[in-house]
Amino acid sequence: NAGVTQTPKFRILKIGQSMTLQCTQDMNHNYMYWYRQDPGMGLKLIYYSVGAGITDKGEVPNGYNVSRSTTEDFPLRLELAAPSQTSVYFCASRPGTGNGYTFGSGTRLTVV
């Protein structure tokens, strides 16, 4: 059981570079989420999706983009990386509302 898989685990980016954080789940969950966690802070929602082809903004979407072409995959794109995007990024999924999330192990991103 792979659950939610995130790649890469670590990445250092230079200011202005772009990258895609990958997230895939094998549980056939409809709902997928991207959160970021800053030191001493809770998890802030970046984007979420309730099914293939449907995405919506969360609390902190600026500087990010997502797509959901399949049920399994929910990549997060960073364009023009900034130091403020240094954080740990978590992808999560769940079958529907009223259920807990299953989280991936996270991607630690540093922008220098």
Which CA distances in Å does 8 have to 16, 41, 54, 93?
A: 19, 22, 24, 18
Quote the CA–CA distance of 30 and 11 in Å, as a whole number: 28
- Shortest spacing between CB 77 and other proteins, in angstroms: 20
The binder of other proteins chosen from 1, 28, 62, 97 (CB under 8 A): 97
- Shortest spacing between CB 99 and other proteins, in angstroms: 9
The binder of other proteins chosen from 29, 66, 106, 109 (CB under 8 A): 106
The binder of other proteins chosen from 45, 61, 63, 67 (CB under 8 A): 45
110 touches other proteins by CB under 8 A? no
Quote the CA–CA distance of 48 and 74 in Å, as a whole number: 9
**Are 77 and 68 spatial neighbours (Cβ–Cβ below 8 Å)?**
no
- Shortest spacing between CB 110 and other proteins, in angstroms: 15
Close Cβ partners of 83 (under 8 Å, ≥ 6 residues apart): 15, 111, 112
Q: What residue ranges bind other proteins (CB under 8 A)?
A: 4, 33, 35, 40-43, 45, 48, 58, 90, 92, 97-98, 100-106
